[in-house]
Structure 1
Amino acid sequence: MKDRTLKQLLMSSSYFVLNKQIVKAIGIEAGFLLTTLIEASDGLANEDGWFYKTSPSLEEETGLSNHKQSKIIDELTKLGILEQENKGMPMKRYFRINFNKIEELVFKIQDLKNSKPSIEEIEKQGFKNFESKDLKNSNACIEKISNNKEYINNNLNKELNNNIYSEAVEYLNLKAGTKYKSSSKNTTKHIKARINDGYTLEDFKTVIDKKCSEWLNTDMEKYLCPETLFGPKFEKYLNQKIIHKNIGIPVSTQETKKIKWGE
């Protein structure tokens, strides 16, 4: 893959673009900083690919502190994705992107994960000088990807749960004409408990529908609130038969006949 083509894949002139494969391989923050440096290199790099970028300018663009930048830059350097040199008068921090290494470590990382080559296998492929430390770095990179996947999955689950909080409360407000907030600690406490029990957004909506059908415009309307609906009786409400309001005590068969015939 040519450097120019790879640059266009990783960057955008209007927005920061985080490539999914990079995020999976090195994490969100490292991917964000790398993308910023790639965009800078596209306009600032000399013929050898070197360009300088100050810490304050990076912090302004990314929000990452100098300490955080240094930590990420050290990680990218160890992976071989980024080269750094301090030179010039006054001294400036210069970078160079190793696009070949990005392609090797990021875009082909799945192959690396599926097959951890032994030293003998690598030597057969022509890598005579392969050392054990390189294999260790590869394994570390694979472990980092697994950790990042877990991090991403946790974030996705958190985002899905947040959607349940907001959508369940919005649906209750719509059906019952209330104005509860999904950010209320008391409300989120009950919703979180039900989510931990394994209930879904559709279950919340079902309970709301059933109890609104039963309690709206009755003395029980005041209980159409998150604390009651999403509390310990949630499972009972979810499984109850739909009870329509204004249906009182069932009438006898004889009374039913009288109503039917208008008697």
Structure 2
Amino acid sequence: MKSKWLYSKHPIVVDMELASEIGLNESIVAQQLNYWINTKSAKLINGKKWVYNTYQNWQRDSFPFWSEATIRRSFTKLEEMGIVETGNFNKAGFDKTKWYTINTEKLDKLMSRRAAQNEQTDCSKRADGAAQNEQTNTRDYTEITTDNNNNVLDKPKTSNSSDGVHKKIIDYLNSKAGVHYKHNANATKRVIDARLKEGYTLADFIAVIDKKVAEWISNPEMSKYLRPTTLFGPKFESYLNQKSVNPSQYQKYGTKRVEKGTDWSKHQASTETNVSSDDLKNFFRNFEEKHNGGT
């Protein structure tokens, strides 16, 4: 019985070599763009097929599993690599909707260079292998220790390639927030890896740390949330896109923030009230009783 999730509709195709060269997200975007420019909705302009779309519509029609920010970053990277070209062919001057096409010559040149590099690497590996086979058969054994007649081979530990990114992010957070989190904690690695898979970069993590430290560091109620599971969790995108907070615009007053430069002498309190003195006495008496637990 065929699963309803497998190829029941037009699938998103990912070429492994293309993804390895330009990135997974970017290869998905390029494939979908190629699909649309070969449909009837494309327009032939200056000898090239173009389609126009907003990031919101890209998300709705092609990438419902991504945020608009992820889609924007992927298109921007493709433009920087020269694979995607953009233009504005809108009739209305105020319409800033982007038009997109693929620079196939640039893409083919990029992939051809990759193929040549791979071939050169393979030749080098074959040459090195042949040279090693001609050498004397000597082995470099790792130190073997014996404990209770059991031989234990002391193998070097393997390291995750993303550990360097984890350490850079957490070291920066610790230095900025005065905390002491470990970069190799499982919970920390999970939230960082989740954001990296969504296409966020080291610079994005640094930006979130800077913004939230500036906003929360002086607030005892919020500073406890300067932790990896909060900063890099599901709200990461909203933190990244919020406006930066300038701490110099505020001064701390208790646990609240009061804007500097406020001249309270110009704010005269109103003495008019419709509440009688007896009502006020009853209000404060009830408040005190509730606050003191009715004692």
TM category (shorter chain) comes to 0.3 to 0.5
Q: If each structure's strand is expressed as a fraction of its own residues, which one has the higher value?
A: 2
Q: If each structure's helix is expressed as a fraction of its own residues, which one has the higher value?
A: 1
TM (norm. structure 2) is: 0.36
TM (norm. structure 1) is: 0.40
**Highest relative contact order (Cα 8 Å, sep 6+), 1 or 2?**
1
